[in-house]
Amino acid sequence: MGAVAPRSAWSPNFDAQKEGTGCPMCADGGNRNDFGARFRHGRWTDAYLGRRPVRPGYAYVVWTGPHVAEPTELDPHEAAGFWAEVAIAASAIEARYRPRKMNWMSLGNGVPHLHVHLVPRHDDDPDAGGPVEAEAFDAASVTPLDDAVLESEVAALRRLVDGGSSSTTPSSPH
């Protein structure tokens, strides 16, 4: 077998960032307006709607506790909280965008701070039946949502994750 020509490389700072040194998500909590807009602030996580939709309804959920790169670094209590909050965000995305399948992608190859990409896969998905192509995560290849759309979608998602808690009427289980 001949050597495979590399298409990309690990960041020179990758190992340091994986340990938490110079981690951009620890610095800003993932809260950068050019990446997305937050629709939920939880006990363990913040959830954002992505400005550059990998697929329509693309969101991501960022661990907001002390730096970890992998889910295996969480203790069982933290892990339960983390995944439960990812599910809250995913449920809101499912309710709003009605995908045929939701993909939960814990990657961290670019920024090794624990986060999960929520990628709705729709009926007309160009890669239906298989994984999302890597190029979908290339910011330059995806047309960004404009501010008005991002804000209105985030407002709709907030109503879903709040479950009506912003009103005086308690939400009922269903």
Given the rule CB under 5 A, which residues bind Zn ion? 23, 25-26, 67, 113
Considering the complex, what minimum distance in angstroms separates the CB of residue 123 from Zn ion? 36
The continuous run of DSSP H or E covering 91 comes out as: helix 76-97
What's phi and psi for 112, nearest 5 deg? Answer: -85, 60
Q: In this structure, are residues 26 and 112 in contact, taking their beta carbons and an 8 Å threshold?
A: no
What is the C-alpha to C-alpha distance for residues 29 and 23, in angstroms, rounded to an integer? Answer: 10
What is the C-alpha to C-alpha distance for residues 166 and 171, in angstroms, rounded to an integer? Answer: 10
Considering the complex, what minimum distance in angstroms separates the CB of residue 40 from Zn ion? 19
- Joined together, the tokens standing for residue 31 give 């809260």
- With respect to Zn ion, which residue has the nearer C-beta, 67 or 159? 67
Considering the complex, what minimum distance in angstroms separates the CB of residue 62 from Zn ion? 9
- With respect to Zn ion, which residue has the nearer C-beta, 29 or 56? 29
Considering the complex, what minimum distance in angstroms separates the CB of residue 164 from Zn ion? 33
Residue nearest Zn ion, Cβ-based: 23
CA-nearest of 159, 137, 155, 173 to 49 is: 155
What is the C-alpha to C-alpha distance for residues 149 and 131, in angstroms, rounded to an integer? Answer: 27
- With respect to Zn ion, which residue has the nearer C-beta, 63 or 97? 63
